[in-house]
Structure formats: C-alpha cells, structure tokens
Structure 1
C-alpha cells in the first residue's frame, strides 16, 4: 500500500530500535516518536539512527511537547513519561 502511495520512497518494515539498513543514508526524519519510548529505548533509537547515517548526514526529530495539554495525563512510567 505504501509504495502505491509513494513509489519514489523506500519503505522498510521493522523496529526503529534495530539497525536494519544495509547502507548508510543521507538523512533520517523521525516524526513524533521519541515520547513513545522509555528513556533507555529513546537513547537506543537515537544511537541506531546516528549509526545508520552518512558522516555528513542529517538527523531530524520532532517531539511531543511538555507544554501540550495531554502532558502529564495517565500513569507515570518514569519522569516525563506517561501511559494513557
């Protein structure tokens, strides 16, 4: 389905916590993902992304804001991380 939507992009099925790319890439864009993981896995995600970048590559993250109205809702899992 993804390739029908955008045939020029490469879509890979796998875990963002694993290094799964066969070649280093020029850029990685992660949209609102960091807040979905506990700190240990966030660190693993960022390390894996950095490992898969070309030396002059770009790593761009957007993130859930602590100023969002939903921040602090749900059960506290660790400082700054909640489960709804």
Structure 2
C-alpha cells in the first residue's frame, strides 16, 4: 500500500484537483450544524478534503501513508496542517479525542480485519456525541465484479488495488455497533455511500 500510494502521488501529484468531493461538502454542513471544532481525517492525501473544514473554523489533523502527499499538503495548505505519517492500520497516532472524524474513500481499500480495526479505532477517538463519517464505494459502481475476486465482494483491480464493495447488509454488519444512524447515497467518482455514526453519551 505504501509503495502504491507513494508512486501515485509522485507521478500524478494533485491527481484529484483542489475542489472538495461532493460528500465532503455534505459532511462539512453536518459538522457545522453539530458545532464540530476539531476533525481527524485518516487518509488525508494532499489535503483537498481538509481545507473546507479549516475554512469553517475547524482544526484538522490528518493521517497519511504517503510522504509525498504530506509534502504536497504542506505546500498548498501550510505547515500548520498537522499530519501523522503512517498507515491508518497503525492508529491511534495521538491520544486526542475528536468531535468529528471523516474518512473519505479509504475503508474499501482495507481487508475485513483492517476495516473492523479502523472503525473501532475511529470510534475510540470520538469525543462524547462526536460524529464519524465514512464514504465508500457501493456495489452499484461499474467496476464491481471486475478484476480478480479475492474475497466476498472484494476484488483486485487497477494494477494491484484491492477494493471491497459495500451494500446495506455489510454496512449494518460493520458499522451497526459503532453508532450508525444514517446512510446516504451520493454520486462521486463512483456511486458512494456516506455512512454516518455518532458516539452517544
């Protein structure tokens, strides 16, 4: 994973541009409405989905596996954007509790055990009544079923990327005990689910 993303960011640099993703705009509205002050973004990349939160007065901390992506983030958004260098599978990187956690298009790149750990690690770092939102590819994406099948609903595609495709049942199974309260569908790169959870007091 490290080598893949390091090469991707070295070769393609700011490959998704600087506009926040559709789902990020929705999550930003939710975080504003719920008075979120500090946000953790596992898999922050070069920060394109971070700036909208900062523009609205939130403090953002990131986690990123690619050193090149971190350098790009600092170049474009300043060194005050704090990013832990490492894999999300090694969480937690700090003891901070966050009002909001936003994980964009990352969880579907992990295997089942890693997904379960990420959900639990994020939940553990939520403050009381904190919100965590995951966006992930759905089985309605055109690429579902392409490549080599490596597990139920998980395929190796795009020259080595392994992707898990969620449906309502797998969302319930994996997020049901993590304060799941709403699932939306949005059209992003592919059809995505926006999975919302809250740590109730």
Rounded to whole Å, the distance in 2 between the matches of 1:9 and 1:50 is 22
Deviation at 1:24, TM superposition (A): 1.0
Deviations 1:28-65, CA, capped at 9 Å, x for gaps? 10011121011111111101111111121110000011
Relative contact order, higher structure (CA 8 A, sep 6+)? 1
* Runs ≥4 residues deviating over 3 A: none
1:79 and 2:160 aligned:
no
Q: Which runs of 5+ in 1 are unaligned?
A: none
Report SS of the residue matched to 1:45. helix
Structure showing greater Rg: 2
1:9 and 2:81 aligned:
yes
C-alpha RMSD of the superposition: 1.4
Contact persistence 1:25–1:54 (CA under 8 A): yes
Rounded to whole Å, the distance in 1 between the matches of 2:86 and 2:124 is 16
**Of 39, 43, 49, the match for 2:112:** 39
Q: Which runs of 5+ in 2 are unaligned?
A: 1-70, 158-201
